[in-house]
Amino acid sequence: MDMVCRGKIFVPRADQFDDAFEGNYTQFVYEISRGITVTSNGVPSNRGIVNNTNEIRESAFVSCWTLSETENMALWKLYGGKNSIAIETTVGALKIEIGKSENSVRELGLLSKRIVKVDYIDHRSRDEEIARELLSSRRAPLTKKPTAYSYEQEVRVIIDHFDQPLAQADFKQRLGVGIDVAINPQSLVDQIYVSPLADAWFFELIKRTLQDHGMDKLVSWSNMRVAPVDEVYQQ
């Protein structure tokens, strides 16, 4: 409702997520770093790569979506709950809306914006190829997640200021823990699904609320919903 009413998507900073692996390298990379780096008193240290991890998490903003042709009950229960909705869009529409710099916060025109499909890896892996991929760019760790999250089939929007090193500190202070990215809801949203677990009153509330924005025709029940017996007989 916030997105529809304000015409903006809130994109949180990566360090605000609960996942402790967010923006992290594999254990192998940290071990390599410790092996080739020593402190002034000769003690092995991977403090540099750890600091880089923190910098990555604090310099990027991430909007998470799931890429799927069908619904997923696990996602409804984990991220929705009983009375909730899911927004359906396309990668193309998302790319167009996120890329509208004229509709965005002032700093967004200077930030890098990309849409990536997440790869799922074992962060305990000693695979050298994975290590090289993670070290290929500062954004790479944000495109990898633990295999335990593979059910998400995630596609994410990554907005960062890695290419603006002189403005890093200033951007962090002004942008804070999240940014509002202006979008056109009518252009972004293809369909709005109400949770299969939702109450009937919630479905009607969503439809009535969206009437003022001309989007009530986009609302439908989840395809996974089994209608109560009394509703079936009323039909």
**Where do the structural domains in the chain lie, given as residue ranges?**
2-234
Q: Is the alpha carbon torsion for 52, 107, 184, 197 positive or negative? A: positive
Q: For residues 51-60, give the mean pLDDT.
A: 86
- 58, pLDDT greater than 80: yes
User: Exposed, middle or buried, 17 (CB in 10 Å: 0-12/13-18/19+)?
Assistant: middle
pLDDT digits over 116-163, tens only? Answer: 999 999 999 899 999 999 988 889 999 999 999 999 999 999 998 887
Q: For residues 186-201, give the mean pLDDT.
A: 95
Q: What is the pLDDT of residue 95?
A: 92
Q: Residue 221: in which H helix or E strand, if any? A: strand 219-221
- In contact, 155 and 67? CB cutoff 8 Å: yes
Give the E-state strand segments of 171-213 in sequence order.
178-182, 191-194
Higher pLDDT, 70 or 109: 70
Q: Residue 205 contacts by C-beta under 8 Å, 6 or more apart in sequence?
A: none
Q: What is the pLDDT of residue 189?
A: 95
Q: What are phi and psi of 111, to 5 degrees?
A: -95, 150
User: How far apart, in whole angstroms, are the C-alpha atoms of residue 68 and residue 92?
Assistant: 14
For residue 38, name the pLDDT band (cuts at 50, 70, 90). Answer: very low
Expressed in angstroms, the distance from the first to the final Cα of the chain is 30
Residue 184 in tokens: 């056109």
